[in-house]
Amino acid sequence: MDKLLAKRNEVLNAIKPIMEAFKISDYDYIVKDFGQTETLVINGTGIGCSCNSIEAIINETIGYLFVAKFKKYRYLGSFETQTLKKVTEYWLSERQTAEIIGFSDRENDIKTLGGTNG
């Protein structure tokens, strides 16, 4: 669990400048010892990141920003469906995200708020 906690801190430090630049304070990196799962949560959107490198997690963060900020006001052309499907490939359903957030305080699991809350 110590390695997961260390990785959590490393992830939060790596994405903090990005989140601050886009004025996002609702984010966290939830690690769970049970099943060794790792989930990036941004504004209530869960993104599966188990066993990902820090670079890959930064890329998932940028993917979230692409969908939530850039795509919001632009048409992506004839490949929009395929592009969004690929970018959101590891995104969790609302139910899955709620379960991860809701069960985060079970024994052997941790969750504390990242961003400006932590």
**Residue 85 pLDDT:** 93
Q: What total number of domains does the chain contain?
A: 1
Tell me the backbone φ, ψ of residue 48, rounded to 5 degrees.
Answer: -65, 125
**Residue 61 pLDDT:** 97
**Residue 118 pLDDT:** 38
Tell me how far apart the alpha carbons of residues 88 and 82 are, in angstroms, rounded to a whole number: 10
**Residue 41 pLDDT:** 95
**Residue 106 pLDDT:** 41
**Residue 35 pLDDT:** 73
**Residue 103 pLDDT:** 59
**Residue 49 pLDDT:** 92
Per-block mean pLDDT, blocks of 10 residues, the chain (118 long): 88 97 95 85 93 94 94 87 93 87 53 41
Could you tell me if 29 and 39 are in contact, meaning their C-beta atoms sit under 8 angstroms apart? yes
| Domain range enclosing 67 | 2-117
Q: How far is CA 33 from CA 9, 18, 66, in A?
A: 15, 27, 30
**Residue 109 pLDDT:** 45
**Residue 117 pLDDT:** 37
